[in-house]
């Protein structure tokens, strides 16, 4: 380095952005990443993945008792799963977060595409490229026709295409008298794609509205024409799941009576069809209007006043009559839980209070309550005294029961299982076993104090589900729109074709007419499969018997 040369200077650093600008850039980049199609696909995959635990793990909204048993069987991991809301997947914070992010991503991704598509529909097809021979498929030929008349012919053959005809001045061509035709079709492909994604957004919105404003109640009804359900309050149901904005008031009034129930079975015991004949009132018919007859079957619900009544399941409700020493009787019919789905061997319990005037002292009356616990078989099969069931239909019913006397806990106000007795009561000898017997319909047993317990047979019960979803029609419409949009986007293909027509510069032929040069090129915007054969067929239709040059 000479004395006259200045030392090299380091390049100047760019000015540091201010905090507001850096924050704005972070928000902008985050929004761009969130609203990209790649992010939407990832979120859609995560939503499907997040729904898997809801199908594999018991959900509290469907069966709270099964969830409690699941946690009790897994005392270490069960409470942690509960904290992570794995027993309420579809209402959990993490499932809701994925759901909302997917909704925002789809909206932010689709709206700009809709605007771009609207602008594309108003824009004329792109001008003809200068060198058509560079396209994957092209053709050059000659025809004995006037350029203008031949261009009209080509324009007529392109019916159904979006066409733009340009003259030589517009094209800035070097060929005097040149006419170019730009044609494009397949705009419905992008339209179908947009319809699919907009319908997906609509489906998400409809499902969310249904979850917010819908409700679902389940109730067991004895099929004997005397029992029924009126859906005027959540208290009328055995279990009730309300939407986040439903407070239990304003339920759609529906009253249902179950007249009878019939189950059809194959010879191997497999269920073939369940049918329940019902009568119902709905809307303004409640409570003084006429009753209407209908029939419920699996997947064939009653649809009335915007609600649906489903036949969910069935089982058996044994009937027992307890005759106390003073001659008073108590008859109870209570549904028992099917423990075997193939043979309908069922278990359950019944609690009966003693007559009040037999025992003036309430404490004494509690000591003489009757409790029954055991098994019911619709088609009895005995191995000695051990009862089992050989067929799900009620052809030869029998029960195997333990009979207790003592405090059943009816007056305690504490919740108890419908299908089993409180084992603490038995352990504390507040309930004392009096007998263990097997009974068929009409048979009875007498306890040491003269109390008689009779088995009167059994009735069938059905499990009805009343479902209210104000957005179910919109879910169907959105699903159909998704299928239609997907079909259109798969069937329609984007194609571009250009035709350049200009008089030949060579001398006239033997007839004295100048020939016209025709150049044609085509481009597949999307699917390339079969485009070569399609281009050849299109060329023959547009250009006819044009001589190849």
User: How many Å apart are CA 220 and CA 237, to the nearest integer?
Assistant: 8
Residues of the domain holding 395 = 316-457
Q: Are residues 474 and 448 part of one domain? A: no
| Model confidence pLDDT, tens digit, residues 82-121 | 888 888 888 788 888 898 888 888 888 888 888 888 888 8
Whether 430 contacts 423, CB under 8 Å: no
Q: Are residues 425 and 302 part of one domain? A: no
Q: Are residues 256 and 388 part of one domain? A: no
Q: Are residues 435 and 349 part of one domain? A: yes
Q: Are residues 446 and 327 part of one domain? A: yes
User: Is position 4 within any domain?
Assistant: no
User: Is position 73 within any domain?
Assistant: yes
The closest alpha carbon to 418, from 486, 386, 371, belongs to 371
**For the chain, percent of residues with pLDDT exceeding 90:** 21
**Total Cβ atoms within 10 A of residue 418:** 16
User: Is position 509 within any domain?
Assistant: yes
Question: Across residues 508-512, what is the average pLDDT?
Answer: 50
User: How many Å apart are CA 315 and CA 397, to the nearest integer?
Assistant: 13
Sort 442 into a burial class: Cβ within 10 Å, 0-12 / 13-18 / 19+. exposed
Is the confidence at residue 373, as pLDDT, over 80? yes
Is the confidence at residue 16, as pLDDT, over 70? no
User: Is position 194 within any domain?
Assistant: no
User: Is position 190 within any domain?
Assistant: no
Q: Are residues 296 and 217 part of one domain? A: yes
User: Is position 419 within any domain?
Assistant: yes
Q: Are residues 438 and 519 part of one domain? A: no
Residue 5 — pLDDT band, cuts 50, 70, 90?
Answer: low
At which of 71, 88, 121 does a domain end? 121
User: Is position 126 within any domain?
Assistant: no
Q: Are residues 390 and 374 part of one domain? A: yes
Q: pTM of the predicted model, to two decimals?
A: 0.68
At which of 75, 101, 121 does a domain end? 121
User: Is position 175 within any domain?
Assistant: yes
Highest average pLDDT, of 52-61, 138-147, 237-246, comes from: 138-147
User: How many Å apart are CA 421 and CA 374, to the nearest integer?
Assistant: 10
Q: Are residues 438 and 368 part of one domain? A: yes
Confidence (pLDDT) at 507: 47
Confidence (pLDDT) at 247: 77
Q: Are residues 451 and 330 part of one domain? A: yes
Is the confidence at residue 1, as pLDDT, over 60? no
Question: Across residues 274-299, what is the average pLDDT?
Answer: 86
| Model confidence pLDDT, tens digit, residues 131-160 | 888 888 889 988 888 888 888 998 988 888
At which of 121, 154, 169 does a domain end? 121
Instruction: Provide the number of structural domains found in the chain.
Output: 4
**Total Cβ atoms within 10 A of residue 349:** 22
């Amino acid at each position: 380095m000479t004395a006259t040369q200045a030392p090299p200077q380091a390049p100047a650093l760019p000015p540091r952005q201010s905090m507001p600008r850096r924050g704005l850039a972070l928000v902008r980049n985050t929004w761009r990443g969130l609203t990209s199609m790649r992010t939407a696909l990832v979120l859609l995959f995560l939503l499907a993945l997040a729904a898997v635990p809801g199908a594999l793990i018991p959900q509290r909204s469907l069966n709270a008792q099964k969830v409690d048993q699941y946690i009790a069987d897994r005392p270490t991991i069960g409470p942690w799963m509960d904290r992570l809301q794995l027993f309420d997947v579809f209402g959990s914070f993490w499932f809701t977060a994925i759901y909302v992010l997917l909704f925002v991503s789809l909206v932010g991704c689709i709206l700009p595409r809709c605007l771009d598509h609207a602008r594309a529909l108003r824009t004329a097809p792109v001008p003809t490229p200068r060198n058509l021979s560079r396209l994957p498929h092209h053709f050059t030929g000659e025809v004995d026709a006037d350029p203008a008349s031949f261009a009209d012919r080509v324009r007529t053959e392109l019916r159904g295409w979006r066409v733009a005809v340009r003259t030589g001045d517009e094209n800035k061509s070097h060929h005097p008298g040149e006419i170019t035709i730009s044609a494009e079709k397949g705009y419905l492909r992008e339209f179908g794609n947009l319809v699919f994604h907009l319908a997906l957004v609509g489906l998400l919105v409809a499902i969310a509205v249904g979850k917010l404003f819908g409700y679902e109640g389940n109730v067991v009804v004895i099929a004997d024409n005397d029992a029924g359900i009126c859906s005027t309050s959540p208290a009328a149901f055995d279990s009730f799941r309300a939407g986040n904005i439903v407070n239990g008031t304003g339920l759609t009034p529906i009253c249902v009576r179950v007249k009878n129930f019939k189950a059809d079975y194959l010879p191997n015991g497999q269920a073939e069809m369940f049918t329940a004949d019902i009568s119902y009132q709905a809307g303004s018919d409640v409570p003084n209007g006429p009753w209407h007859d209908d029939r419920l079957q699996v997947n064939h619900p009653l649809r009335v006043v915007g609600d649906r009544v489903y036949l969910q399941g069935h089982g058996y409700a044994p009937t027992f009559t307890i005759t106390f020493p003073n001659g008073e009787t108590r008859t109870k019919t209570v549904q028992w839980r099917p423990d075997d789905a193939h043979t309908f061997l069922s278990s359950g319990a019944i609690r009966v209070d003693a007559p009040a005037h037999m025992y003036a002292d309430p404490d004494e009356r509690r000591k003489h309550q009757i409790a029954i616990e055991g098994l019911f078989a619709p088609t009895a099969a005995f191995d000695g005294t051990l009862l089992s069931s050989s067929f799900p239909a009620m052809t030869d019913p029998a029960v195997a029961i333990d009979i207790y006397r003592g405090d059943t806990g009816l007056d305690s106000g504490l919740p108890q299982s419908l299908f089993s007795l409180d084992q603490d009561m038995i352990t504390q000898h507040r309930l004392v076993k009096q007998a263990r017997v097997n009974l068929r319909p009409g048979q009875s047993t007498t306890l040491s104090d003269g109390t008689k317990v009779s088995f009167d047979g059994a009735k069938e019960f059905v499990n009805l589900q009343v479902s209210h979803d104000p957005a179910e029609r919109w879910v169907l419409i959105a699903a159909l729109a998704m299928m239609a949009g997907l079909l259109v986007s798969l069937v329609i293909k984007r194609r571009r074709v250009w035709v350049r027509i200009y008089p030949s510069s060579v001398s006239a032929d033997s007839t004295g007419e100048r020939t016209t040069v025709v150049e044609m090129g085509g481009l597949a915007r999307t699917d390339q499969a079969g485009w070569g054969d399609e281009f050849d067929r299109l060329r023959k239709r547009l250009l006819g018997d044009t001589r190849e040059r």
